[in-house]
Structure 1
């Protein structure tokens, strides 16, 4: 069985700091990465579960949004007096 190895565009090798020299492939549920310039090699298990989103000021519910006070808005016609 032939395994397709792909280069990762823009990736920098953690050992030799060469750019665009890292290739990756998957085999038997394990993800592999290596550098073609040096002898860097890494294997990682393929994680099916995505990590939870970090809470930031953008996705956090503000106190003003937590209140359920609904107020009706009445649109006035400027021509009517």
Structure 2
């Protein structure tokens, strides 16, 4: 029985409760498992390196079609903490 340590997947979103950074993953006897520590989500996946599928994270998710990336530049205004009298 070979088991890798359980590791949290940075940026992964739970498919059941949508909590971020609560999904952990590990491999045991050629089977990949993942679960969520916030809910009762559990999944087992066969280890197949040819599929190339990644777990969805905030880094590799496609942008929502109705929310374009903001490229607008706006100045930053620094406020004086002590008002003038």
Pick the TM interval, shorter chain. 0.5 to 0.7
Query: In the alignment, is residue 8 of structure 1 matched against residue 5 of structure 2?
Result: no
In 2 relative to 1, CA 44–25 (structure 1 residues): closer, same or farther, beyond 3 Å?
A: same
Higher helix share: 1
Q: Name the SS of the counterpart of 2:19 in structure 1.
A: coil
Runs (5+) with no aligned partner, structure 2: 53-85
Q: Deviations over 1:11-57 (max 9, x none)?
A: 00000000000000000000000000000000000003245xxxxxx
**Deviation beyond 3 Å, 4+ runs, structure 1:** none
Runs (5+) with no aligned partner, structure 1: 52-81
**TM-score (normalised: structure 1):** 0.57
**TM-score (normalised: structure 2):** 0.55
Report which structure shows greater RCO (CA 8 Å, sep ≥6): 2
Query: In the alignment, is residue 25 of structure 1 matched against residue 26 of structure 2?
Result: yes
